[in-house]
Structure 1
Amino acid sequence: MAPDFNNKTISTLAKRAAYLCSNPDCRTQTVGPNEDPNKSTVIGEAAHIYGARPRSKRYVSIMTDVARANITNGVWLCRNCHKLIDTDYQKFSSDILFAWREEHEKYISSELGNATDKIRQEQLSSQLSEFKNYPPLVRRIIIDKPIGWEYKLTVELMRYLNDPILRKIEDLKDGLYIKFQEHIDEEEMTDWISQRMKESGKLVPPMVGLIDKLNKSWGAPGEEGDLKEIHHICCLIRDNLELIVSHEEKIYSTNVPERYERILELLKNLLGSQAEKLKKIPNRLEEIISYIDNDDKKVLKDLEGKEEMVVFEVPENWEKNFNKELKKLNISIGNPATESGCFSFLLLGIVSGSLIFFL
């Protein structure tokens, strides 16, 4: 699919802007009469907020062409302002353009809308207040609610909320930062190992329940999802990831007697490596959304009933190696795999064009 807006999207952007330029310092009329009585003259254009193609202004490489062509990425401008934002693109950032569109639609609703329109705008403003510190694209998805908005919102929320935490896991693993060092004496080691294993065992199961809740928050096929619930669950996933990071920091920041160093190395990144698998969810969601946006019935039909696993499990041979070290140290703490909690799995699939995580 090309990243260009289709005629329907262009027409909708123009009408939502009441054919006025969305630049609050301009707001010039962009449609008028033509010498031909059967035609009108339009000097407005649907401008891309994030650039449509490489080397375009404000281009973001990780976006899909489907996302670039979506109405959430557009703003209605007169030709002069369209030229202006692409000439001085550093001044007119994507955040500014998102704000222009949002404020302009408020203005149109206030000036031209009836009493009911104004009430709806007030309700929307109240709803958006919870997302005032979020990326503008999140707010735009909530306002526009395009087809599949539940999944698009989940993608943006998971990336915004989780990426900084997942980056901390990478940085910790690469030795780029460390917390205050704690030394554990020989006589404390058995309890320390047992505590770390029990902690990890409590951190994984909630993630499985959260993914189930996320699936339900999207609504049944043909039904609208629950915005508040989607946001709530995404925040809980973030909170659980923060606990996993805290757990990993505790392990990376511990000094142990020399003969326990192999145990320490096996514990490092045990949960972090599983948490990083969550990156797959928004990536795969985005891929399937593109099929829905393109109404690719053949691909969607092929995907129906297929399951794709995102497995939370201990690395290969980890349990064997861990038990071997425990035996050397004459330590018994039960089943390491069960204690660690790394035994759950998530399944990603599609049913009748609707995304579903099977548990």
Structure 2
Amino acid sequence: MACSRGAASPDHHTQRRLFAASAGFCQNPGCSNELFIDAGSKSIHIAEMAHVFAANDGGPRGNPSISPEERGAFENLVVLCANCHTMVDKAPDAFPDGMMLGWKREHAHKLQGLFGAVKFHDREDARRVVEPLLMENYAIFDQYGPHIYAARNPESGAAEQWKRKMLTRLLPNSRRMLAILDTNRHLLDGGEKQTLEQFRQHIDDLEATHIEGTCEDASRFPAGLTEILED
């Protein structure tokens, strides 16, 4: 997601927060486009950050009363596919600020339902929703992770394949698990709550590496997560 508008550009933290809020889909509720598309062995990135109030006074939905920092804030940005971004900026009168902010809220509510982020009454029901996501992520890591033999060969394409799986499956699955577990904190014991926070930092580190491209030593996946909500 690119934007070069000086102070009106979101910082790295805001970019990661926007990615997490989109869950990999255009936030226009009338659009079902995925923002990372598999194309052969590569993942094509079509996500764009659209300003609700323009990055400059003369832009779409310009608002001279807000500062450049406010224009680059999370609250003033919506993640759209390239087509929807072009549409809202070329016809700003048809897409006022209230409508675009409504898209963002509606997208969040829709994701809560899709992610199964509902409050459960017992641990067994919550575990039943989390377990398939854990299993899929483990299977992907086991087959494509950086530890496999092919990853040692820079010409094998394994690194690009791993990144594609990370963006299209592992990170969205992980954000879904975070949403479910946060909604059901009342079912977690003290140790599990600590594991949840360790998992949150692990995902934050992975997003910094695979979305921002920063070179950081990511925290390790907390082993306790594989048994969370088990009795």
TM-score range, shorter chain: 0.3 to 0.5
Q: Tell me the TM-score normalized by structure 2.
A: 0.46
Structure number with bigger Rg: 1
Q: Which has the higher contact order (CA 8 A, sep 6+)?
A: 2
